[in-house]
Amino acid sequence: MTRFYLLFSAAGLFVIALSYGIAPATILPVALNVSVEGTDLTHIFRAIMGLYLGMIVLWVLGAFRANLTWVAVIAEVTFMFGLALGRVVSIVIDGMPSMLLVVYAVLEIAMGLWGVLILKKPVSPRLEP
């Protein structure tokens, strides 16, 4: 189940990462009603893509290497709850975003909670993938 969790998250985040970084000026105005103009904003979105891809690498490694599984799940829980916290703060301060971003927040909370359940399972010193 832990392997499925890590790979499922990696696959989902991979699509989102590419949507942010491959062609942000083309994809994001359609997906999120965000206008991406200028090199600096494109640079920021591509850096976010790189961050997401880096997390994906850790999650995939954790899915197949028992010595990295625990770290990968902790990293994913931290990542998901961190994103969700930022979205909740934004909703409180800025108001409701588009429905897609609300769905992202719900999924991030769900994935974070799923990871917490995995971490709470009694296991040997390392989680089995």
Is 127 among the domain residues?
no
Using pLDDT thresholds of 50, 70 and 90, give the confidence band for residue 113: very high
So what's the pLDDT on residue 121? 84
Q: How many domains does the chain have?
A: 1
Q: At what angle do helices 2-21 and 39-64 cross, to 10 degrees?
A: 160
Is 49 among the domain residues?
yes
Once rounded to an integer, what is the mean pLDDT over residues 80-105?
A: 97
- Structure-block tokens of residue 17: 């990462």
Residue listed under structure tokens 């709470």:
120
Write b or e for each residue in 8-18: b if 16 or more Cβ atoms lie within 10 A of its Cβ, otherwise e.
ebbeebeeebe
10 Å Cβ neighbour count for 69?
23
Summarised one tens digit per residue, pLDDT across range 98-108 is: 999 999 999 99
Contact 114, 79 (CB under 8 A): no
- Structure-block tokens of residue 51: 């961050």
So what's the pLDDT on residue 128? 53
Is 126 among the domain residues?
no
Summarised one tens digit per residue, pLDDT across range 13-68 is: 999 999 989 998 888 888 888 898 989 999 999 999 999 999 999 999 999 999 99
Model pTM above 0.75:
yes
Question: Which structural domain, as residue segments, surrounds residue 18?
Answer: 2-120
